Copies of this chain bind each other. A is one copy, B any other.
């Protein structure tokens, strides 16, 4: 069982950051299509995608948003965080196989409320920014460690 520990508002300083790595797999595209309902063939059909301007399968734009949200929830600030808002610019296509780095950096702390803003940057293996934006969260005020449930096996026929 994995445990995850948060960083409370008082423990967070401007400039604090975290980085998470993720390689985009075929399963990501299928699961994101299933959970969102976006079954555009650009994401799912290699043959069709090869005929488009992208020359291959691309990830759903909001898949990078999902990775950003997971970094906030699992790491900075982590458990107990309340997600207030997110903006994202999708700057370059994310291709199947891309090796992404999701980076969060605390950019402000509110004076009177436990509200924190974080710059969010998703970069590919060529160092190009594929998505950038800003998250606003209510950071936890109580220290906590929670168990992250193991997920059941998901199989794709």
A67 at the interface (CB under 8 A from B): yes
Interface positions, chain A 1-23, Cβ under 8 Å from B, are 2, 4, 20, 22
Q: B74, A38: Cβ atoms under 8 Å?
A: yes
Interface size on A, residues (CB 8 A): 54
Could you say which of B2, B85, B146, B156 contacts A89, with CB atoms under 8 Å apart? B85
Q: DSSP class of A's interface residues: helix, strand, loop or mixed? A: mixed
Q: A88-B85, A157-B153 are in contact. Are A73 and B31 (CB under 8 A)?
A: no
Interface positions, chain A 130-154, Cβ under 8 Å from B, are 146-154
**Chain B contacts of A84 at CB under 8 A?**
89-90
**Chain B contacts of A70 at CB under 8 A?**
36-38
Known A62-B83, A152-B156, A153-B157; further 13 A-B contacts with Cβ < 8 A:
A30-B151, A35-B35, A37-B74, A61-B69, A61-B83, A62-B66, A62-B68, A65-B69, A85-B88, A85-B90, A86-B88, A153-B156, A154-B155
The 7 closest A-B pairs by CB, nearest first: A87-B87, A62-B69, A36-B66, A38-B70, A61-B83, A39-B148, A153-B157
Interface residues of A (CB under 8 A from B): 2, 4, 20, 22, 28, 30-42, 44-45, 48, 60-63, 65-70, 73-74, 79, 83-90, 146-157
